[in-house]
A and B are shown apart, each in its own frame.
Chain A
Amino acid sequence: MEFFHEPKIDWMGKKWYFIGLSLVIFAVGMVSIAVKRGLLYGIDFRGGTLVYVKFAQPPNLDAIRAQLKKENLGGATIQRSGPASESQVIIGLDLQSTASSDALDAGKRAITSALAGLSGAVPAGKVDFNNSSPQTLAEHLVVADPLHLASQGSEEAQRRYRELADAMVDFRNAPPRSGLLADLSELKSVAGVTPGVLEALGKDFYLSSYAIRDTQIVGPKVGSDLRRQALYVTLGGLAAMLVYIWFRFELIYGLAAVIPIFHDVLITLGIFSLLNKEISLTVIAALLTLVGYSMNDTIVVFDRIRENVHLNKRESFYDLVNRSINQTLSRTILTSGLTFLAVMSLYLFGGEVIHGFAFALVIGVIIGSYSSIAIASPILVFFYQRAGKNRAGARPRALERETAGARR
Chain B
Amino acid sequence: MEKKIRNRVIIIAAALVTCILGIICYPRNDQETFGFPTNWQRLKENVRNRIRLGLDLKGGTHLVLQVQVNDAVNVTIDLAQERLRDELRARNIPATVEKKTEGGRTYLLITNVPQEKAGDLQTLAADQFPDWILSRRAGDPNAREMSLKTSAVANIRNQALEQSKSTIRNRIDQLGVTEPTIADYGRGDYELVVELPSVDDPTRVKDIIQSTAMLTLKIVRDGPFPTREAALAAHGGILPPDSELLPGRRESGSDTTTAEAWYVVDRIAAVTGRDLRDAQPRPDENGRPSVNFSLTRDGAARFARVTGANIGKQLAIILDNRVVSAPVIQGQISDNGRITGSFTPQQAADLALVLRSGALPASIKYEQEMTVGPSLGADSIRHGVIASIVGLVAVMGFMLVYYRGAGVNANVALILNLIILVAVLAYFGAVLTLPGIAGVILTVGMGVDSNVLIFERIREELRLGKTVGAAVAGGFDHAFLTIIDTHVTTVVSALILFTFGTGPIRGFAVTLTIGLIANLFTSVFVSRVIFDYVLSRREKGEALSV
Question: B463 near A1 (CB under 8 angstroms)?
Answer: no
| B200 touches A (CB below 8 Å) | yes
* Whole-angstrom distance between the Cβ of B394 and the nearest chain A Cβ: 5
B441, A335: Cβ atoms closer than 8 Å: no
Interface contact B198-A135, CB-CB below 8 Å: yes
Determine how close the nearest CB of chain B comes to the CB of A134; give it in whole angstroms: 6
Cα A216 to Cα B59 in complex, Å, equals 13
CA distance A74 to B1 in the complex (A): 76
Q: Within the complex, which residue of A109, A229, A354 is in contact with B500, where a contact is CB–CB below 8 Å?
A: A229
Q: Does B83 contact A (CB under 8 A)?
A: no
The answer to whether residues A178 and B453 also contact, given A219-B366, A339-B442, A339-B446 and a CB cut-off of 8 A, is: no
Question: Quick one: given A331-B452, A345-B391, are A241 and B200 in contact (CB under 8 Å)?
Answer: no
Q: Which of B377, B435, B437 contacts A285 (CB 8 A)?
A: B435
Decide if A185 is an interface residue (CB 8 Å cutoff). Answer: no
* A361 at interface by CB-CB < 8 Å: yes
0/1 interface trace, chain B 86-119, chain A, CB 8 Å (1 if under): 0000000000000000000000000000000000
**Stretch of A7-15, A61-69, A166-174, A389-397 that contacts chain B:** A166-174
How far, in angstroms, from A134 to B435 measured CA to CA in the complex? Answer: 25
Contact A133 B493 (CB under 8 A): no
In the bound complex, residues from chain A placing their C-beta under 8 Å from that of B441 are: 342-343, 345-346, 350
| B482 adjacent to A212 (CB under 8 Å) | no
Contacts of A292 in B (CB 8 A): 489-494
Q: Per-residue CB proximity of B43-86 to A under 8 Å, as 1/0? A: 00000000000001001000010100000000000000000000
Task: Name the distance in Å between A331's Cβ and chain B's nearest Cβ.
Answer: 4
Asked if B291 is an interface residue, CB under 8 A from chain A, the answer is: no
Interface membership of A402, Cβ < 8 A: no
Least CB distance, A302 to chain B, in whole angstroms: 9
In the assembled complex, the Cα of A296 lies from the Cα of B399 at a distance in Å of: 20
A182 located at the interface, meaning its Cβ lies under 8 Å from any Cβ of chain B in the complex? no
Q: Determine if A131 and B442 form an interchain contact, defined as CB atoms under 8 angstroms apart.
A: no
Known: A133-B198, A179-B373. A342 touches B494 (CB 8 A): no
Is there an interface contact between B486 and A349, defined as CB atoms closer than 8 Å?
Answer: no
Assembled-state Cα–Cα distance A289/B512 (Å): 10
Which of A105, A108, A213, A358 interacts with B373 by CB under 8 Å?
A213
Q: Are A349 and B387 in contact (CB under 8 A)?
A: yes
> Does B460 interact with chain A (Cβ within 8 Å)?
yes
Contact of B448 with A338 in the complex, beta carbons under 8 Å: yes
Please state if A358 and B438 are interface contacts (CB–CB under 8 Å).
Answer: yes
Do A341 and B198 form a contact, CB below 8 Å, given A174-B378, A175-B382, A335-B449? no
Interface readout for B387-410 with A: 1 if CB under 8 Å, 0 if not? 110110011001101111000000
User: What residues of chain B lie closer than 8 Å to A109, measured between beta carbons?
Assistant: 203
Whether a CB of chain A sits under 8 angstroms from the CB of B383 is yes
Nearest neighbor of B394 in chain A, beta-carbon distance? A341
A218-237 interface mask toward B, CB cutoff 8 Å, 1 = contact, 0 = none?
Answer: 11011001000110010011
Q: Does B367 contact A (CB under 8 A)?
A: yes
What 0/1 readout, one digit per residue, does chain B (448-485) give for beta carbons within 8 Å of chain A?
Answer: 11001100100110010000000000000010011001
Number of residue pairs across A and B with beta carbons under 8 Å?
A: 248
B487 contacts which chain A residues (CB < 8 A)? 296
Contact for B368 among A131, A219, A300, A351, CB less than 8 A: A219
Bound Cα distance A85, B394 (Å): 28
A186 adjacent to chain B (CB < 8 Å):
no
Residues A351 and B380 in contact, CB atoms below 8 Å apart: yes
- Which residues of chain B come closer than 8 Å to A172, judged between CB atoms? 375
1/0 contact string of B351-382 vs chain A (CB within 8 Å)? 00000000000000011111111111111101
* CB <8 Å contact, A293 and B448: no
Complex formed: what's the CA distance from A172 to B374 in Å?
A: 10
Q: Confirm or deny: B120 has a beta carbon within 8 angstroms of a beta carbon on chain A.
A: no
Q: Are B485 and A248 closer than 8 Å at their CB atoms? A: yes
In the complex, what's the smallest C-beta–C-beta distance from B376 to chain A, in angstroms?
Answer: 4
The answer to whether A353 and B445 have CB atoms under 8 Å apart is no
B488 within 8 A of A: yes
B485 touching A285, Cβ below 8 Å: no
Contacts of B203 in A (CB 8 A): 105, 109
Given A133-B200, A289-B494, do A353 and B434 touch, yes or no (CB 8 Å)?
Answer: yes
Asked whether B387 lies within 8 Å of A334 as measured between CB atoms, the reply is no
Residues of A in contact (CB 8 Å), total 86
**Residue A99 at the chain B interface, CB threshold 8 Å:** no
Q: In whole angstroms, how far apart are the Cα atoms of A293 and B198 in the complex? A: 36
Q: Which residues of A lie under 8 Å from residue B391 when comparing CB positions? A: 341-346
Contact A230 B366 (CB under 8 A): no
Which of B368, B459, B492, B504 has the most chain A CB within a 10 Å cutoff? Answer: B368
Q: In the complex, what residues of B have CB within 8 A of residue A179's CB?
A: 373-376
**8 Å CB interface, B482-525 against A:** 482, 485-494, 496-497, 499-502, 504-505, 508-509, 512
Q: Which of chain A's residues have a CB closer than 8 A to the CB of B305?
A: none
Beyond A218-B368, A303-B481, is A178–B375 a contact (Cβ under 8 Å)?
yes
Asked if A104 and B445 make an inter-chain contact with CB atoms under 8 angstroms apart, the answer reads no
Asked if B131 is an interface residue, CB under 8 A from chain A, the answer is no
* B201 within 8 Å of A (CB atoms): yes
Question: Which residues 292-333 of A sit at the B interface, judged by CB distance below 8 A?
Answer: 292-293, 295-297, 299-300, 303, 307, 327-328, 330-331
> Given the known A-B contacts A217-B368, A282-B504, are A353 and B64 also in contact in the complex, defined by CB atoms under 8 Å?
no
What CA separation (Å) do A341 and B398 show in the bound complex? 10
Instruction: Decide: B490 and A221 in contact? CB cutoff 8 A.
Output: no
Say if the beta carbon of A16 comes within 8 Å of chain B.
no
Closest residue to B487 on the A side, CB-wise? A296
Measured between alpha carbons, how far is A324 from B66 in the docked complex, in Å?
Answer: 54
Q: Write out the residue numbers on chain B whose beta carbons fall within 8 Å of the beta carbon of A174.
A: 378
A68 to B386, CA, bound (A): 37
Taking the closest CB of chain B, its distance from the CB of A204, in whole angstroms, is 15
In the assembled complex, the Cα of A216 lies from the Cα of B491 at a distance in Å of 30
B367 touches A221 (CB 8 A): yes
Kindly provide the distance from the CB of A234 to the nearest chain B CB, expressed in whole angstroms. 9
B446 to A330, Cβ gap below 8 A?
Answer: no
Contact, CB under 8 Å: A327 / B501: no
Partner of B367, one of A136, A219, A342: A219
- Whether A357 sits at the interface, judged by CB under 8 Å, is yes
Question: Given known contacts A342-B444, A353-B380, is B494 in contact with A173 (CB within 8 Å)?
Answer: no
B247 at the interface (CB under 8 A from A): no
For this complex, 24 residue pairs linking A to B, each with C-beta atoms less than 8 Å apart, are A54-B375, A105-B369, A131-B373, A132-B200, A173-B378, A173-B379, A212-B371, A213-B375, A219-B368, A281-B502, A281-B505, A288-B496, A289-B497, A289-B508, A296-B487, A297-B486, A303-B482, A341-B391, A342-B395, A342-B442, A345-B391, A350-B434, A350-B438, A358-B438
**Smallest CB-CB A-B distances: 6 pairs:** A179-B375, A342-B445, A351-B383, A292-B493, A339-B445, A173-B375
